[in-house]
Structures are given as structure tokens and as C-alpha cells.
Structure 1
Amino acid sequence: MGMPTVFISTYAKAPQNTPMYENNKQIGVMLEIQKQNHVVVNADATFITELAKDYLKRIVIGADFSKDISPLLKGIEKDFLIQSQGALIVALKVAHQKYHDNFLQKK
């Protein structure tokens, strides 16, 4: 019996001259998505601080990955004002595409 969720991790290059670049060279985003309704139920990232990880969770949980995630990305652009914002957006776009390619396309 399979899991009711799917786990996806993606990475994007962090901007140079930032603590994230110095520590990891990249940002990692991990998402747990409910298979039945395609909604993100848990999230994590390779941010340095717990506050940033928690903030990402509160923004991403509830997003429907079967649909366009432009509203989610616009919310990040507006409210998640970090140096690695662009890398975060790239990682989420890759996660969205990976979900579509590996889960939705196989149905």
C-alpha cells in the first residue's frame, strides 16, 4: 500500500555573497503533497533560520499543485523579502513541474 502523500525535493542555486550561498551554495525545498487533492500538507527548506523555515511553511501549506502556482509565487515576491527569493521561486517552479511530470501525467 502506498503513501497518501508524495514527497518532492528540488534545489536552485543560491545568490552569491549571501549566507545561504556560503553555507550550502543552493536552496533546497522539500514538499509533502496530498495525492488525493494535490495540496501541500508540509514543507521545509534549507534556510539557515527556523523562522524562515516556519514562514515558508505558512505560505506554502495549502497550495494546490494541480493548478497554476502563480498566486503562490506572487505572494512570495510580495511578502517573503529575502536575498534568496529568486532561488526560492525557481525551486518551487521546479517542484511544481516535477509534481506534474511525475504524478499528474501518470494518472
Structure 2
Amino acid sequence: MEPYKIFISGYAKLPTGTTAEELYKVIALGIILDKNTGEILDADCSVVTSVAKEHVRELLVGKNLKNIEAIEEEFKNRYYGSVKKSLISSVRKCYTKYIQILENNDIEE
């Protein structure tokens, strides 16, 4: 594996009454990115349907985590599932961890 590739995860509470909440309680988002550039190389999440997982992946892969506002806008404009806010929160947590890594080369959980 290339040393510039890192894995970051973010979690958020799911809305009550959704299928995802019944199954998972929280949403998990995992991304692999280029530590040097911030480019998202791969992504996966714990939404229920495969089509939703693929759409989330398409919204993230190729984007730059340093440009969090543009990623959030993509979700606001192109994802209309009931876990939208939870996904945006998970992405934001990944962004926060990434910034900590860049600033401190460490993460506080």
C-alpha cells in the first residue's frame, strides 16, 4: 500500500424510525484519501441499500476533503435520503480528523 493513503472514519447518530437506525443505530462513513492532497480515493458507508451506498461513493470519490463546503453542497443538492444530515455530519467528522492529522500528525478520538 502506498504510504500517502490513509483511512479516516466518521460516525453520526441516525434519525429515529429509519431502517438504517433500526439496523445500525449510527451511520459509519469510511474514506481512503491521499494524505498529501486531500483527494478522496474510495468511500463506503453503512446505509442500507446498495444503490444509496454507491451514490454516496460517487458523491465523494474524486472530491477533495479540504473543500468540505463543496462536498456538503453536493450532498444537500443530490442526496435526498432520510439520512442526509447524518451523512453530512459524518463527512464533517472525517474532515475534522483530517485537519487534525495535517496539523498535529495525530488524532484525538
TM-score by length of 2: 0.89
Secondary structure, aligned partner of 1:7? strand
One-letter identity of the residue aligned with 2:72: L
| Aligned residues of 1:29 and 1:92 also touching (Cα < 8 A) | yes
- Partners in 2 of 1:106 and 1:63 — Cα distance? 23
Deviation at 1:3, TM superposition (A): 2.5
Q: CA deviation at 1:2?
A: 6.6
Q: List gaps (5 residues or longer) in structure 1.
A: none
Could you tell me whether the CA contact under 8 Å between 1:63 and 1:69 is conserved in 2?
Answer: no
Query: In the alignment, does 2:87 pair up with 1:82?
Result: no
Q: CA deviation at 1:36?
A: 2.7
Root-mean-square deviation (CA, aligned residues, Å) is 1.6
Q: Is 1:6–1:33's contact at 8 Å kept on the other side of the alignment? A: yes
Structure 1, residues 38-74: CA drift from partner, whole Å, max 9, x if none?
A: 1000000001111111111111011212x23111101
Higher mean alpha-carbon deviation, 1-10 vs 67-76, is at 1-10
Amino acid at match of 2:50: E
Structure 1 segments, 4+ long, off by >2 Å, are 1-4
3-state SS of paired residue (2:32): strand
Q: Distance in 2 between matches of 1:3 and 1:101?
A: 18
Letter of the structure 2 residue corresponding to residue 76 of structure 1: F
1:31-50 → structure 2 map (5 Å cutoff): 31-50=31-50
Alignment of 1:12-91 (within 5 A): 12-65=12-65, 67-91=66-90
Residue number in structure 1 paired with 2:97: 98
SS in 2 for 1:83: coil
Residues in 2 aligned to 1:69 and 1:38: alpha-carbon distance in whole angstroms: 10
State how far apart, in whole Å, the 1-side matches of 2:31 and 2:74 are.
Answer: 17
TM-score by length of 1: 0.91
Aligned length: 105
